Amino acid sequence: MTRSASVAQLAPFSLAVLTSAGADEASAEAATWAMLHASLHGVDSHGIRLLPFYADCLRNGIAKPRPHVTVTYPRRAVALVDADDGLGHIATYRAMDEACAIARDCGIGMASVINSTHFGAAGAYTLAAADAGFIGFVCCNSGAFVVPHGGAKPIHGTSPISLSAPNPGGDPFLLDMATSSVPWNKVLRYRTESIELPEGVAVDGSGAFVTDPTKAMALAPVGGADFGYKGAGLAGLTEVLGGILTGMRLSSDQDGLALGDTKVGHFVMAIDPTLFMTLEAFGLGVQTYIDRFKAQPGTYAAGGPEWERRRKREADGIPLPDGLHAELADAAAKAGVTPGF
């Protein structure tokens, strides 16, 4: 039987591990809530499994444990959030707060994050906007792991795009997608478990598509063998908004260490959905859209399967398979903390 743990057990544990690694309270809280967002929604690649990694980042200098996050306002609808080389979460939550505050005033607000590091699941920040009554949009580039369409060497990261829209009467719309078909840790897991990859998601060193995970050297953009130029183009959008606009690094200039990139930029935006109607009327539009899927069982609006998983995990706890449990136990030992699960 797989172990599990509740948010009430994992949150104080995560805070203790990050604090022991030097994090200030605000950094530890932001990282914890971003990881638990992902764990609750079933996005396990960005869930509590990243806790040991973030603790190591704090210890080995990849992320500053006590950053001085600063905000300036170059124009009336734009904030510039300098993450001061800390963990990406605290700066990105702050950026979304700023974008929402600007959107309340100006209708739309943008916040660029500079000097940041890995921020986990982009959906954590857009959902925070939706919970506050705003449409949230986030994207960023990330260390190059994904070949261009038809290419053999990575140019793009798995560079995520996320949009969430509020729905006071039901589940918010929540799109949170990588611009590759699968994450790299899926390739690693399929190697361990000797499972074939789907067609069109990974390539060998020559750029040929492979389904044998032991031969996979890089990921391919969403769209696969025929339409990968679309996924690559979306990754390009994240380079423009997350990398070039902010003056931060292109994916292909980042460290290439898995997730351990520094001097990362993020693009954060919020829109006030009450520009042209009440929030309730907007939410009704979102719900009407979501309801269209219910007439076709097995289909979902973006975020649908994640909300189902969230309800299950809120009830039953977040599953901790043996490997993950052991990694968290190691992180606990390193931090001198006793896990309560």
Q: Which of residues 1-60 bind its own copies (CB under 8 A)?
A: none
Binding residues among 70-109 for its own copies as defined by CB under 8 A: 74-78, 80, 102, 105-109
Helical spans, DSSP H, in the chain: 7-20, 25-40, 51-60, 88-106, 123-131, 184-192, 224-238, 279-294, 304-316, 322-335
Residue 258 CB, shortest distance to its own copies, in Å, is: 20
List C-alpha distances in Å: 272 to 102, 109, 110, 276: 9, 9, 12, 9
| Count of residues engaged in binding its own copies, rule: CB under 8 A | 78
Q: Does 150 bind its own copies (CB under 8 A)?
A: yes
3-state SS of 129-191?
Answer: HHHCCCEEEEEECCCCCECCCCCCCCCECCCEEEEEECCCCCCCEEEEEECECCCHHHHHHHH
List C-alpha distances in Å: 200 to 142, 149, 284, 309: 21, 11, 38, 27
Of 49 and 156, which CB lies nearer to its own copies in the complex structure?
A: 156
Of 225 and 333, which CB lies nearer to its own copies in the complex structure?
A: 225
Cα separation, 311 vs 40, in Å, equals 8
Binding residues among 243-272 for its own copies as defined by CB under 8 A: 243-247, 250, 252, 269, 271-272
Of 152 and 329, which CB lies nearer to its own copies in the complex structure?
A: 152
List C-alpha distances in Å: 47 to 122, 186, 188, 217, 307: 12, 14, 17, 24, 15
Of 62 and 111, which CB lies nearer to its own copies in the complex structure?
A: 111
297 CB burial (10 A radius; 0-12, 13-18, 19+): exposed
Residue 50 CB, shortest distance to its own copies, in Å, is: 22
Q: Does 129 bind its own copies (CB under 8 A)?
A: no
Of 105 and 330, which CB lies nearer to its own copies in the complex structure?
A: 105
Of 51 and 80, which CB lies nearer to its own copies in the complex structure?
A: 80
Q: Does 136 bind its own copies (CB under 8 A)?
A: no
Residue 231 CB, shortest distance to its own copies, in Å, is: 8
Of 253 and 327, which CB lies nearer to its own copies in the complex structure?
A: 253
Binding residues among 290-309 for its own copies as defined by CB under 8 A: 292-293, 295-296, 298-302
List C-alpha distances in Å: 98 to 14, 37, 63: 26, 20, 22
Cα separation, 53 vs 260, in Å, equals 9
Residue 156 CB, shortest distance to its own copies, in Å, is: 9
- For residues 40 and 58, the answer to whether their CB atoms sit within 8 Å is no
Residue 60 CB, shortest distance to its own copies, in Å, is: 29
Binding residues among 189-208 for its own copies as defined by CB under 8 A: 198-201
SS3 113: strand
Of 66 and 75, which CB lies nearer to its own copies in the complex structure?
A: 75
Residue 144 CB, shortest distance to its own copies, in Å, is: 9
Q: Which of 42, 52, 67, 148 binds its own copies (CB under 8 A)?
A: 148
Q: Does 275 bind its own copies (CB under 8 A)?
A: yes
